[in-house]
Amino acid sequence: MVKTTDIILGIIAKDLKKSPSDALVIGVAQGADGPVLLSNPLSAKAAESLAGSLKILGITGATDQAHRLPGLPETGSGILVLAGVGKLNDDGSLGEEALRRAAGSAVRQLAGTASVTLAFPTTTPADVTAVAEGAALGAYSYTEHRSSKDGLNAPVAKVLIFSDVDAKSAQPGLDRAIVLARAVNSTRTLVNQPPSHLYPESFAESAKELAKGLPVKITVWDEKRLEKEGFGGILGVGKGSTRQPRLVKVEYAPAKATKKIALVGKGITFDTGGISIKPALGMGDMKSDMAGAAVVLNTVLAIASLGLPLKATAWLCIAENMPSGAAARPADVFTIYGGKTVEVLNTDAEGRLVMADGIVAASLEKPDAIIDVATLTGAQLIALGLRTAGVMGSDSVTQALKSAADRAGELVWPMPLPEELRPSLDSQVADLANIGERNGGMMTAAVFLREFVGKNDDGQQIPWAHVDIAGPSFNNGAPYGYTPKQGTGCTVRTLLAYAEDLLDHSA
């Protein structure tokens, strides 16, 4: 079972003492001549004294800096926290993502504190929403498998946002922030689960558990149904494991839907590489190879929670890639759902095989767009690093995803699909091979997936995009902003923003 905890969010605009909290957080920016104390609810005298002490205290305003001081009597809080927000915009303002990260960083570092008031400069409902999102994302921890919680600080349970923005106009943003954080944090928790606990069957059960109470329909293909209906990619990848594969369809179909999207997610619950086995070093991180499936599952659940008027379907392509006497071999040929055949030249290029089945299944319902999300290639990290996802496919979808990501505060970058890569996927014995040109391997993988995108009623290929999240889905470094170690939950925010934008453009 995936445990979820919702933070309590509220907004206040008057006397801090009437709504006391354990800690009050105010912002400090990096100015040209040193740290700058941002607008705050302190008295003029207290603010002036504090501003004059910043350099002495070693406070620079750099991002992720959180300096604790004794609280002031006028605030009603026992702790005063000076949180760095980084550099201001040219007009002296803070962008929404800067607010989101500053709030998330402060709340994350204040774990062990029950309640916090965030007093960053907010002039619009969107600013308040950004602070709320950051706070809710920062209030996350994963302790499910600890035998004792001694020495562990519980995440902040309640956050008040000090702002002059009208509370009524800000409330929808707070409500959305709670739904969004629940989706992101559930994704993080699924990714963080050890493979001993999260495997194809238990992943399918977790999807059902998370969907309880929501207007969604869940259908699960077990290994017998997968074989009967010809899902050769998922079956072929999963047959080396004693834990048999699953395909899970999560469908939200409101009566007044005006658009229809399909989201396909890679769900390799553990990836050894199969017969083409990976090096031992770092293999433990391969518990995260199901991040794409977790992302699309929780995105659809968030869309359902918000009651958006569009049909959204998630296809979770779940298998465990293990070496054994039953495992697929290099040179085997799989028949993908729908009939295309693939020669498996490398069993560690397995994600695209399970995704091919899912993309074909999604295509048969002729959605307005198909977006697949996968921790697909090491080449993604080489091309774009650890924090930026690659997006490839139809211009109409990739451009919309880039715009949505910018609005949501996530990093994605559009990459091309050069036509010269397709011949490298030619096979001597099947319709195509599962690996091709190594250089530009992220794009080669996307070219492979494009082969399985179906056509709409007009005979044109369904608008489609592939999002490779191999780097940004898992954080092996230090936590930063609202991002914890290990599972990050990246791309949920982008996909939710994409769905909202799709509705706005169709209105």
pLDDT category, 438, cuts 50, 70, 90? very high
Name the helix (H) or strand (E) containing 505.
helix 492-506
CB 483 within 8 A of CB 134: no
Q: Annotated binding residue at 90? A: no
pLDDT category, 188, cuts 50, 70, 90? very high
Is 422 labeled as catalytic in the residue annotation?
Answer: no
Can you tell me the distance from the alpha carbon of 346 to that of 435, in angstroms, rounded to the nearest whole number?
7
Q: What is the pLDDT of residue 121?
A: 95
pLDDT at 385 over 80: yes
Q: Percentage of residues in the chain with pLDDT exceeding 70?
A: 99
- Tell me the pLDDT tens digit for each residue of 57-78: 999 999 999 999 999 998 989 9
Alpha helices (runs of H) in 139-268, residue ranges in sequence order: 167-192, 200-211, 223-229, 232-238
CA distances for 4 relative to 142, 143, 187, 488, angstroms: 10, 12, 10, 15
Question: Considering just the CA atoms, what is the radius of gyration of the chain in Å?
Answer: 24
Judged by DSSP in three states, 39 sits in: coil
Residues 6+ apart with CB under 8 A from 87: 29, 30
User: In the numeric block, which tokens belong to residue 42?
Assistant: 């302190």
**Taking Cα atoms as reference points, which of 416, 413, 418, 421 lies closest to residue 390?**
413
**Taking Cα atoms as reference points, which of 7, 355, 292 lies closest to residue 175?**
7
Taking the domains of the chain in order of start, what are their residue ranges?
A: 8-164, 186-506
**Which among 188, 246, 352, 493 is annotated as catalytic?**
352
Q: Annotated binding residue at 266? A: yes
Can you tell me the distance from the alpha carbon of 418 to that of 447, in angstroms, rounded to the nearest whole number?
8
pLDDT category, 1, cuts 50, 70, 90? low
**Which among 278, 366, 387, 450 is annotated as catalytic?**
278
- Tell me the pLDDT tens digit for each residue of 306-362: 999 999 999 999 999 999 999 999 999 999 999 999 999 999 999 999 999 999 999
pLDDT category, 246, cuts 50, 70, 90? very high
Q: What is the pLDDT of residue 507?
A: 60
Q: Annotated binding residue at 91? A: no
CB 188 within 8 A of CB 142: yes
Average pLDDT estimate for 366-377: 98
Parallel/antiparallel/unpaired status of strands 332-335 and 341-344: antiparallel
- Tell me the pLDDT tens digit for each residue of 268-279: 999 999 999 999
393 forms bridges with which residues in the sheet? 465
CA distances for 173 relative to 77, 178, 235, 389, 503, angstroms: 26, 9, 43, 26, 17
Average pLDDT estimate for 70-90: 93
Judged by DSSP in three states, 208 sits in: helix
Average of per-residue pLDDT values in the chain = 96
- Tell me the pLDDT tens digit for each residue of 171-185: 999 999 999 999 999
Residues 6+ apart with CB under 8 A from 281: none
Statement: 8-164 belongs to CATH 3.40.220.10: yes
Alpha helices (runs of H) in 124-213, residue ranges in sequence order: 125-138, 167-192, 200-211
Q: Annotated binding residue at 87? A: no
The amino acid present at 402, given as its one-letter code, is: K
For domain 186-506, give the CATH superfamily: Zn peptidases (3.40.630.10)
Judged by DSSP in three states, 351 sits in: helix
Q: Annotated binding residue at 222? A: no
DSSP tag of 418: -
Is 100 labeled as catalytic in the residue annotation?
Answer: no
Q: What is the pLDDT of residue 233?
A: 98
Q: What is the pLDDT of residue 14?
A: 80
Average pLDDT estimate for 443-464: 97
- Tell me the pLDDT tens digit for each residue of 195-219: 999 999 999 999 999 999 999 999 9
Question: Chain-centre distance of CA 322, in angstroms?
Answer: 26
Can you tell me the distance from the alpha carbon of 105 to that of 479, in angstroms, rounded to the nearest whole number?
9
Q: Where are the beta strands (DSSP E) in 93-162?
A: 115-119, 158-162
Q: What is the pLDDT of residue 90?
A: 84
